[in-house]
Homo-oligomer: A and B are copies of this chain.
């Protein structure tokens, strides 16, 4: 896989990468289908990478969803890749970004990444996008708190989906008020858009919002800054992988990782001292 990615890497960097995130049940998959349809109608080839375990793209949901998205599944201009396995050591985010690269190099003009918007892993993944849409539903309740803690600050666009439900305007107002207390990153205040993805309502507004953000990125040079951050995150992940591969290779040696784990578990050494010792040993090799 690494070999392949090395070869295609010079061909990457052309796709527009859109992240769609939000809590389970917000209707992200339906929105992703609709957006894919809109960009498809505009002549783009569209890649979808679903990291959301509850997404029908990932095979997580009932068969009905898959059937409803039949058009996408049979369109050769749409490629769907679901990231099901969750490995250790950032394996999921590495594999996801690699998948985006493959689609990018293969000439897909738009790549949509769908993730559940809770947890560091998911946030890391969606940060790989050029633009991030956070999807919420009316009457979030406790979810608003969770959003505030991790997701609010990464949104370039808010979609209040299922906005035919009671409380949609209040959710818009609450989000807007939260934004009043946030300093906009490089002068961009995330628009808040209402949609009903199942009825194809508001999809154009979502696309318009994403397109406006794309123009803003280009106009301010923020697109380069984002791609630099993405490169940094990838390098970090790969360095971590290499480091632990070497630590693991030595794990059974005397004074190696195995022995250190036993001693820490038995309280014969504290984890800080044990880590110091292992690290010194690693560097001496």
Q: Is there contact, CB below 8 Å, between B86 and A150?
A: yes
Q: Is there contact, CB below 8 Å, between B239 and A247?
A: yes
Q: A142-B25, A261-B228, A270-B6 are in contact. Are A149 and B53 (CB under 8 A)?
A: yes
In the assembled complex, A37 has its CB within 8 A of some CB on chain B: no
Q: How many copies does the complex hold?
A: 2
In the assembled complex, A41 has its CB within 8 A of some CB on chain B: no
Contact with B along A207-231 (1 / 0, CB 8 A): 0000000000000000010011011
In the assembled complex, A2 has its CB within 8 A of some CB on chain B: yes
- List residues of chain B with CB within 8 A of the CB of A67: none
Q: Is there contact, CB below 8 Å, between B146 and A53?
A: yes
In the assembled complex, A181 has its CB within 8 A of some CB on chain B: no
Interface centre among A116, A145, A243, A273 (most CB of B within 10 A): A145
Interface positions, chain A 39-70, Cβ under 8 Å from B, are 53-54, 60-61
| Minimum CB distance partner of A11 in chain B | B267
In the assembled complex, A80 has its CB within 8 A of some CB on chain B: no
- List residues of chain B with CB within 8 A of the CB of A283: 283
Q: Which of A119-127, A160-168, A170-178, A195-203 contacts B (4 or more CB under 8 A)?
A: A119-127
Q: Is there contact, CB below 8 Å, between B262 and A235?
A: no
Contact with B along A232-243 (1 / 0, CB 8 A): 101110111111
Complex Cα distance A261/B236, Å? 10
Interface residues on A, range: 35 or more
Q: Is there contact, CB below 8 Å, between B13 and A267?
A: yes
In the assembled complex, A5 has its CB within 8 A of some CB on chain B: yes
Q: Is there contact, CB below 8 Å, between B142 and A261?
A: no
Complex Cα distance A23/B283, Å? 42
Complex Cα distance A274/B244, Å? 17
Q: Is there contact, CB below 8 Å, between B24 and A143?
A: yes
Q: From the candidates B260, B272, B279, name the one contacting A5 in the complex (CB within 8 A).
A: B272
Complex Cα distance A25/B147, Å? 13
Q: Is there contact, CB below 8 Å, between A230 and B279?
A: no
Q: List 9 A-B contacts (CB under 8 A).
A: A9-B271, A25-B142, A61-B142, A86-B149, A116-B118, A119-B122, A238-B274, A238-B275, A239-B279
